[in-house]
Amino acid sequence: MKASCLLVDDEPLAIQLLQKHVQEFDTLQLAGSCTNAVEAMAFLQQYSVDLLFLDIQMPKLTGLEMLKAMKNPPAVIITTAYREYAMEGYDLDVIDYLLKPITFIRFSQAIDKYFRLQRKRESILQDPTKEKTVSIKSGAKTYQLAESEILYVESIRDYVKLHKVDGSNLLLKYKISQLDQELSDSFIRVHKSFLVNKNKISSYTAAEIEIGAAVIPIGAQYKEQFRG
């Protein structure tokens, strides 16, 4: 099944680049493009789409204002030149936050994340009472953990240390990159060595995050997710 997409950006070159990226995916279908948020809202009143690529700084109404005004928006990937709105975007449950100029690799990662989350949501819908869990096979054992138990994940060479809400931790032979793919969108990568449960963050700056009793650095390549 293809995901229908709407592109919303007031820059013609940005629209052209996104169109080119979308055309590379058999799993995506371009439903249309709009040059501002007001036009996009009118489009969405008439047509249903699965995925919205949304710029932030646009005339009349910003992309974030548009999201706040919508009761049931489609899945959203932010596309912007401004990194300082990232956390506000994630608070609105966006799928990903892409900084312009958007490379094909970064676009591909966002699309992969969208489809992974769709599969997880479909699984949850089949059993809405079931808490989100992750299964980690390490050695001869498979560990089944509720995501709500995990504060953050720390990578230590070929191992990951899961720091839990109750203060305990679990050291397992596993790759953090693999775990990043398997955890839900409640977790975000903030450093090459750290994944954090965004629902557990107590405070943050452009350089670090406070979560539980820990202070975690934000890696340079991940700063787009936080206010500068």
Determine the pLDDT at residue 22.
96
> What CATH number does the domain containing 20 carry?
3.40.50.2300
Please state the pTM of the whole predicted model. 0.59
94 and 30 together in one domain: yes
Q: 23 φ, ψ to 5°?
A: -65, -15
With contact defined as beta carbons under 8 Å apart, do 154 and 179 qualify? no
Determine the pLDDT at residue 127.
57
Determine the pLDDT at residue 92.
76
Amino acid at 130: K
**What domain range includes position 47?**
3-126
- Number of structural domains in the chain: 2
191 and 175 together in one domain: yes
94 and 59 together in one domain: yes
122 and 137 together in one domain: no
Token reading at 24: 């590379």
Give the SS3 label for residue 79: strand
With contact defined as beta carbons under 8 Å apart, do 89 and 78 qualify? yes
10-residue block means of pLDDT along the chain (228 residues)? 93 96 95 96 94 93 91 91 72 85 94 85 60 82 90 93 93 90 87 93 89 91 64
What is the separation, in whole angstroms, between the first and last Cα of the chain?
Answer: 38
pLDDT digits (tens, 9 = 90+) for 208-226: 999 988 999 998 877 766 6
69 and 152 together in one domain: no
With contact defined as beta carbons under 8 Å apart, do 17 and 102 qualify? yes
> What CATH number does the domain containing 177 carry?
2.40.50.1020
The residue assigned the tokens 């390490």 is: 138
With contact defined as beta carbons under 8 Å apart, do 170 and 134 qualify? no
Determine the pLDDT at residue 228.
42
41 and 109 together in one domain: yes
8 and 65 together in one domain: yes
Determine the pLDDT at residue 139.
79
Count the Cβ atoms, other than its own, within 10 Å of residue 13: 10
| Percent over 90 (pLDDT), the chain | 57
